[in-house]
């Protein structure tokens, strides 16, 4: 563990630090954390406070991002919306990574029939257009943020499974695994103590990129009215009213859309940065 | 090649079985019996429809029998009848929508590849110049931009602000009576924004991929040889390097199919295009459960076929697979 720690400090971090784009992404990601934590404190208005005198008013000093069709402050709604995106991103990816890692480890370690079966399952899951599958499952459930996170996670683990399997296949042949087996380690111990820590780094990249994907999917679902239900603000469902009032209120579409764009961009940049930092072929 | 083809088609069988199994589990995973649920969620469904449903899904029979009869129905292309008021067979509904979605996606694909290949080559051959950096920025924005938001922006600028392009549907009302040229021009104008939206997201990914594939090829020995022979840079890039750089792109074509089909839900809904994506969305919103299940199966089969075609193209293009043991 000590070795890993020193690796992180001595090679990984300096490299990431030198990559300005990744650093920029990381800063936005951190800023988003802070914003969503402090949303109730920094929002100028209550995100669900209706004001009949200020319906669809354009951006001004009182309302930086304007107001929506019910006179609610768009800036406050966008700030609160960041909580939804963050929650969905992390929980959905957490589910996807957990399933994918276990499937990949088991598949790569045991090979043979177990491997063949699991990998066919991956192939089959990849045949379904992910968005179709998500919509179909959501059809049978009451719309709620928890179901959305679960469903996005359950339909997004296949890439991680393939990655971890490939890593496991090569690690399995290492001498230290043979040594572990010789001293009588159980399969479970070998998989989780010896293989997992060494197979996990590429997962870090796909998890970071996966958060971006999950945020995009959630916003699309909410936009279509199947995701987070109003009055809870999410970037996607603010854009739904943006679409309805597109002829009169551009600010309803512009600001939540830019929020999604920058958030996703930030996670993508960070993910790419981590990938480069982990890749020994990239010159340092 | 023939053995490869046979092998490849043989693999399809377990995958198809798997697709039906998963779709079937999605039906039965839902809390309660599907018929009960349908009743609860859609009060419009009458008693008669309920009996027909029970019969169609054979809900009084054991689970494995239900599965087999359902699969047998699919094999006969019988996907049940829609719950909507027209009550038509789902297969008919899909049949009239499918051509719209497929032709839109094919146009989008052609546009994507037509643009991504030159963009990728440009970025690779002018590596680390301002042009390359500009393209990289464009690529990252392309990755991050939500398609439905892009659609909104386009609608606002070209539809509302400038009034150049129509914002919904495939035709202007009454365009049937116009001359052919005028009719086609009208349809083309309706298609511009949806096609742009459909291709933009994948365009970014594809050109990024093309760039790295090209960089990979350029660093190989035979390219150095070609340069050493004194061939012009244009011949080296476009004749020697391009052919090998294109190979991985074929596989990507296969991978991009589910994304395109899935993405059609979004842009067809926004632009009110009567395709399969819109049918699916309407099915989801009205809990029209035979329609949703039918499209889910058909969509997965389409992906499977698309992947098969991509693999065959790859085999045709790459002599190492064509002549190898495959």
Closest partner residue to A129 (CB to CB) among B15, B143, B303 is B303
Instruction: Give residue-wise pLDDT tens across range A109-120.
Output: 998 899 999 998
pLDDT at A131: 84
* CA–CA dist A16, B235 (Å, integer): 38
What's the CA angle centered on A206, arms A213 and A104, to 5 degrees?
A: 120
Q: Are A136 and B284 inside 8 Å of each other by CB?
A: yes
Chain B residues whose beta carbon lies within 8 Å of the beta carbon of residue A135: 265, 280-281, 284, 292
Instruction: Give residue-wise pLDDT tens across range A163-220.
Output: 999 999 999 988 999 999 899 899 999 998 889 888 888 888 899 999 999 999 999 9
Instruction: Give residue-wise pLDDT tens across range A4-41.
Output: 555 556 666 776 677 788 888 889 999 999 998 888 88
Q: Are B265 and A131 inside 8 Å of each other by CB?
A: yes
Max mean pLDDT among A76-80, A128-132, B160-164, B318-322 falls in A76-80
pLDDT at A22: 85
pLDDT at A263: 94
> What does the pLDDT average to over B191-216?
87
Contact A35, A82 (CB under 8 A): yes
pLDDT at B54: 67
Among candidate residues A155, A129, A132, A135, the one with its CA nearest the CA of residue B257: A129
Instruction: Give residue-wise pLDDT tens across range A118-145.
Output: 998 998 898 888 888 888 888 777 778 8
A117 token code pair: 């079966």
Question: How far apart, in Å, are the Cα atoms of A118 and each of A106, A125, B12, B13, B301?
Answer: 9, 11, 16, 16, 20
Q: Which residue has the higher pLDDT, A266 or B7?
A: A266
For A184: left if phi > 0, alpha if psi spans -120 to 50, otherwise beta; the answer is: left
Give burial (CB, 10 Å; 0-12/13-18/19+) of A169: middle
β partners of residue B81: B89
Q: Measured between CA atoms, how close is A102 to chain B, in angstroms?
A: 20
Q: Are B296 and A257 inside 8 Å of each other by CB?
A: no
Residue A284: pLDDT band with limits 50, 70, 90: very low
A67 token code pair: 């107001």
Instruction: Give residue-wise pLDDT tens across range A245-279.
Output: 888 888 888 999 999 999 999 999 998 888 888 77
pLDDT at A256: 92
A116 token code pair: 């063949």
Contact B317, B247 (CB under 8 A): yes
* CA–CA dist B279, A209 (Å, integer): 31
Q: Are B285 and A225 inside 8 Å of each other by CB?
A: yes
Q: Give the number of beta-carbon pairs within 8 Å between A and B.
A: 138
- For testing contact with chain B, the best of A28, A124, A151, A263 (most B CBs within 10 A): A124
pLDDT at B188: 83
Among candidate residues B34, B77, B15, the one with its CA nearest the CA of residue B287: B34
A217 token code pair: 């999917």
């Amino acid at each position: 563990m000590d070795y890993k720690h020193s690796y992180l400090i001595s090679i990984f971090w300096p490299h990431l630090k030198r990559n300005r784009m990744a650093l920029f992404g990381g800063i936005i990601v951190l800023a988003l954390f802070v914003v969503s934590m402090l949303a109730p404190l920094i929002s100028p208005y209550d995100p669900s406070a209706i004001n009949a005198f200020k319906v669809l008013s354009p951006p001004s000093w009182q309302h930086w991002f304007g107001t929506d069709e019910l006179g609610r402050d768009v800036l406050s709604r966008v700030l609160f919306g960041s909580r939804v995106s963050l929650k969905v991103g992390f929980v959905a990816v957490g589910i996807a990574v957990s399933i994918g890692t276990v499937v990949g480890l088991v598949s790569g370690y045991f090979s043979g029939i177990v491997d063949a079966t699991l990998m066919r399952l991956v192939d089959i899951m990849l045949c379904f257009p992910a968005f179709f599958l998500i919509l179909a499952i959501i059809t049978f459930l009451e719309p709620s943020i928890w179901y959305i996170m679960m469903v996005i996670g359950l339909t997004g683990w296949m890439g991680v499974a393939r990655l971890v399997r490939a890593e496991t296949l090569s690690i399995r042949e290492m001498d230290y695994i043979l040594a572990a087996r010789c001293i009588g380690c159980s399969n479970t111990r070998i998989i989780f103590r010896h293989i997992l820590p060494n197979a996990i780094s590429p997962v870090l990249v796909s998890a970071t990129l996966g958060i971006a994907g999950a945020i995009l999917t959630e916003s699309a679902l909410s936009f279509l009215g199947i995701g987070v239900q109003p009055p809870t603000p999410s970037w996607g469902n603010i854009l739904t009213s943006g679409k309805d009032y597109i002829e009169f209120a551009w600010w309803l579409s512009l600001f939540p859309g830019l929020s999604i764009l920058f958030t996703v961009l930030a996670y993508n940049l960070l993910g790419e940065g981590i990938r480069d930092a982990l890749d020994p072929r990239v010159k340092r | 090649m023939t053995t490869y083809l046979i092998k490849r088609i043989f693999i399809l069988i377990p995958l198809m079985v798997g697709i039906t199994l998963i779709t079937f589990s999605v039906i039965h995973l839902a809390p309660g019996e599907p018929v009960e649920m349908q009743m609860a969620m859609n009060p419009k469904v009458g008693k008669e429809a309920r009996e027909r449903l029970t019969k169609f899904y054979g809900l009084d029979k054991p689970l494995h029998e239900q599965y087999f009869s359902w699969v047998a129905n699919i094999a006969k292309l019988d996907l049940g009848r829609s719950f909507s008021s027209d009550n038509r067979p789902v297969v008919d509904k899909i049949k009239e929508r499918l051509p719209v979605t497929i032709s839109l996606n094919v146009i989008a694909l052609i546009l994507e590849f037509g643009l991504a290949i030159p963009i990728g080559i440009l970025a690779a051959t002018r590596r680390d110049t301002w042009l390359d950096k500009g393209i990289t920025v464009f690529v990252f924005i392309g990755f991050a931009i939500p398609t439905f938001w892009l659609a909104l922006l386009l609608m606002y600028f070209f539809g509302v602000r400038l009034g150049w392009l129509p914002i919904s549907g495939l035709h202007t009302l009454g365009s049937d009576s116009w001359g052919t040229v005028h009719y086609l021009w009208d349809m083309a104008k309706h298609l511009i924004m949806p096609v742009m939206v459909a291709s933009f997201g994948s365009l970014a990914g594809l050109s990024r991929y093309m760039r790295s594939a090209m960089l990979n090829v350029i660093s190989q020995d035979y390219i150095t040889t070609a340069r050493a022979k004194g061939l012009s840079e244009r011949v080296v890039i476009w004749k020697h390097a391009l052919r090998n750089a294109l190979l991985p792109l074929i596989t990507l074509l296969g991978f991009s199919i589910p994304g395109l089909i899935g993405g059609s839900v979004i842009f067809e809904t926004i632009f009110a295009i009567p395709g399969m994506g819109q049918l699916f969305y309407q099915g989801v919103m009205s809990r029209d459960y035979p329609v949703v299940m039918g499209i889910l199966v058909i969509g997965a089969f389409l992906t499977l076929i698309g992947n098969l075609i991509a693999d065959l193209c790859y085999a045709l293009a790459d002599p190492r697979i064509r002549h190898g043991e495959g």
